[in-house]
Amino acid sequence: MLWIYQFGLSVWDTFREMENLLDRYKQSPRKSLTRGSDSIFEVGDWLPVVDIEENKDAYLVKAELPGVKKEDVSVNIDNGVLTIKDRVECSYGSFVRSFTLPQTVKAEKVEAEYKNGILNLTIPKSEEARPKQIEVKVKS
């Protein structure tokens, strides 16, 4: 395949490009830091699939962590940020996932269950965050 650049003609070697890409991937640092808007976040080698649902009482977080042992999973909530990460590097490398939580959660009441590579977290909402139904009385 030929590519024409402003300064002349160049031959694109697809195999060399693929080798360069693979070399860059293999040489990536195991853990790195990236800067968010206000702080620095840790970044891992891969990102597990995470589903987040909300019901009237809680937020439900489901993380798929294939090949990761229960004792290697760390779940922390600090300053309204939920962080799920592994404590050791598994065959896939390390991972870190962080999520900003609403201020209306009860962080001290989080429940965690880990079974068959699936981490399930239940993060309850505070009373003021739960929907309230108000009865409307109609006078006749």
Query: Residue 22 falls within a domain, yes or no?
Result: no
Query: Residue 77 falls within a domain, yes or no?
Result: yes
Query: Residue 134 falls within a domain, yes or no?
Result: no
Query: Residue 120 falls within a domain, yes or no?
Result: yes
Domain count, the chain: 1
CATH number of the CATH domain containing 110: 2.60.40.790
Q: What's the pLDDT at 135? A: 82
Query: Residue 6 falls within a domain, yes or no?
Result: no
Query: Residue 122 falls within a domain, yes or no?
Result: yes
Q: Give the per-residue SS3 of 35-100.
A: ECCCCEEEECCECCCEEEEECCCEEEEEEECCCCCHHHEEEEEECCEEEEEECCCECCECEEEEEE
Structural domain of 68: 31-127
Per run of 10 residues, the mean pLDDT along the chain (length 140 residues) is: 50 73 59 48 72 92 90 90 80 80 90 95 84 79
Query: Residue 2 falls within a domain, yes or no?
Result: no
